[in-house]
Amino acid sequence: MKTDVFGNPIRDQELLRRIEKAKLTQRARNPHAELHDPIEDIPRIRPIVREVERRAERESMVAGMGRCHDVWSRMEHILKSEHGIVWYPPNQMNTDLIYD
């Protein structure tokens, strides 16, 4: 069973599918690439994710360590609740990296 960076099993089958897809496409171009959710590569989705990212950056009150997690959490919530998009942040896509 695939695990996250802390050794916890990943049970979300959609997340596992997207990780594998990202590895096949993104790491084919660059074997050391940090993975992003493949839905960001869909032309009609990309601008929505970018706009939500800018909004989440503006709305975040966290400075310094932990800010990325706050921004990503806000993005997940906004994308799901306002756009019906399930998006996985880098800390879930990259099971071998720890983010601050």
The first and second tokens of residue 54, run together, are 């800018």
Q: Residue 46, Cα to own-chain centre: how many angstroms?
A: 13
Q: DSSP secondary-structure letter at 38?
A: G
In the chain, the percentage of residues whose pLDDT exceeds 70 is 100
Q: How far apart are CA 32 and CA 87, in angstroms?
A: 22
Q: How far apart are CA 13 and CA 19, in angstroms?
A: 10
Given a cut of 90, whether residue 82 has pLDDT beyond it is: yes
Given a cut of 90, whether residue 99 has pLDDT beyond it is: yes
Q: Residue 43's pLDDT is what? A: 98
Given a cut of 90, whether residue 89 has pLDDT beyond it is: yes
In the chain, the percentage of residues whose pLDDT exceeds 90 is 91
Apex 10 CA angle, 25 and 4, nearest 5: 75
- Domain residue ranges of the chain, discontinuous segments joined by +: 13-93
The first and second tokens of residue 69, run together, are 């997690």
- Condensed to tens digits (0 to 9), the pLDDT of residues 28-75 reads 889 999 999 999 999 999 999 999 999 999 999 999 999 999 999 999
